[in-house]
Structure 1
């Protein structure tokens, strides 16, 4: 390559597909409008009938601003129709995300969205539904074989769209048990991990969520077989889901599901309590 020729920079995901970028941009606009209106996050939360944590997450691009929220926020912020004008684009983006999951994942994505109870055990990475955009991008960008830029952005938008579950009311009962080693892995770098740990704390404080850490030092461990998810669809029996390198399996056999349920119960019994887990994450943040 000639020394006078600049090396072309690969397109960033947001330059290929603007879905995730749209949500981040709206979050930034809301923050500017809120500051200009002289409102705190708590005050905006009261005006839009939601939690302060949701406002913070939307402004940081961690949570998707739902159409109903935008319709309430526009007059509250004196936006003059700026946020209302984005409602149709947000609806279309959410609709695209709902149908773009890979074929092997669609059965689980549908079951997850409709579930009344969800329980996640993670040993490799933070569960997708908890991931920040930066953490999720690191997961997709550094996997092998490599994804192209369009696929990275599509998968990223799909993953973040799943977090709309946290905005549902009544929402599903949710629990997470994550291996401590996962939360110490510097995936994406220190700044990315810091943001991810703060996001976990934010979600773990929701009334519908129970969060635990499996510490690194137990002398026995019932879950070395890998990550799995237990979910209960409305009006149906509990099922289990596993996934290894794109090979997904939705398990419906009652006896096999029972074994996963039993394993999860023992894992939760051996994990740190909710309070201990949050204290452990705060300590991790202090060490970064």
Structure 2
């Protein structure tokens, strides 16, 4: 069952909704598993709603009001809890990151959002939205950099990133921007704030060639994995899926360079970009 730290009503509308759900469920004398059965979901899914690692969808809000006798409370408050500064397909994953104690991510095409600098994020967001007004781009950049504040805590969450060499070779914003971006990653690694590994081209075929992986673990809630495509994404909590993706990630780390050698490669590439900009 989620711990009390996940149920701070002052933190967000979603946390308040989770706290109210737990209160209503216990008042009805139902366990998470029993309530889940009535909604045709798992008990762990109910726990994630209460902990705030899952967003409450409108269809579940309606069923909860019916089962728990809360009139239209959850339906009325569902919309407020769903408001987010992030794109719809990514919002739930971004909100789960805040609750995570460990995040393991494989990035095949670009530097992960939690490791991006403002200049790099700006170049990427502009590529996503080539016709968007400048103020809209700055909103995207601000939201992305705000996510990275998770790393201002000296210990949590653990962030372990495997970066494909392609993500480091694809120039976003020019050599100067890339030099800054790679130095930022190397600095986080040197300070022990993150574990970073580079998956080089000469590693050949590998277990995650079909896409990215983001695994998230929580203190008192089941783990989640996030899959992302172009303009789409989804969270999965199926134990079999989690087990398979965890094994895939282990294979990736075995194929990648060691953290020590990875930092050396990243720093060398940063110098190459800086030299390119200078000339």
The TM-score bracket by the shorter chain reads 0.5 to 0.7
Structure 1 unaligned runs (5+)?
A: 1-97
Match of 1:16 in 2: none
Q: CA deviation at 1:187?
A: 1.1
1:173 to 137, 148, 158: 158
User: Match for 1:269 among 245, 250, 254?
Assistant: 254
Contact persistence 1:177–1:268 (CA under 8 A)? yes
Does 1:254 pair with 2:239? yes
Counterpart in the other structure of 2:189 = 204
Q: Distance in 1 between matches of 2:194 and 2:103?
A: 10
State how far apart, in whole Å, the 2-side matches of 1:162 and 1:106 are: 11
* Shift of residue 200, structure 1, vs aligned partner: 0.6
Report how far residue 142 of structure 1 moved. 1.8
Secondary structure at the aligned position of 2:268 is classed as helix
Q: 1: distance between equivalents of 2:193 and 2:138?
A: 29
Residue 53 of structure 2 aligns with which residue? none
**Could you tell me the TM-score, scaled by structure 2's length?**
0.65
- Report Cα offsets for 1:44-102 as digits up to 9, x if no partner: xxxxxxxxxxxxxxxxxxxxxxxxxxxxxxxxxxxxxxxxxxxxxxxxxxxxxx94122
Q: Which residue is equivalent to 1:131?
A: 116
Residue of 239, 258, 279 corresponding to 2:224: 239
TM-score, normalization by structure 1: 0.63
* DSSP-derived class of the 1:257 partner: helix
Q: Distance between the aligned counterparts of 2:106 and 2:243, measured in 1?
A: 15
Give the structure 1 partner of residue 125 of structure 2.
140
State the partner residue of 2:105: 120
Q: Partner of 2:264: helix, strand, or coil?
A: helix
Change in CA separation of 1:150 and 1:180 when aligned onto 2, cut-off 3 Å = same
1:283 and 2:260 matched: no
Structure 1 position 182 matched with structure 2 position 147: no
Q: Secondary structure, in 3 states, of the residue corresponding to 2:128?
A: coil
Q: CA offsets, 1:236-272, max 9 Å, x none?
A: 1221001111211111111111111110000001100
Q: Does 1:191 pair with 2:176?
A: yes
Aligned residue for 2:163, secondary structure, equals strand
Question: How many residues are paired up?
Answer: 191
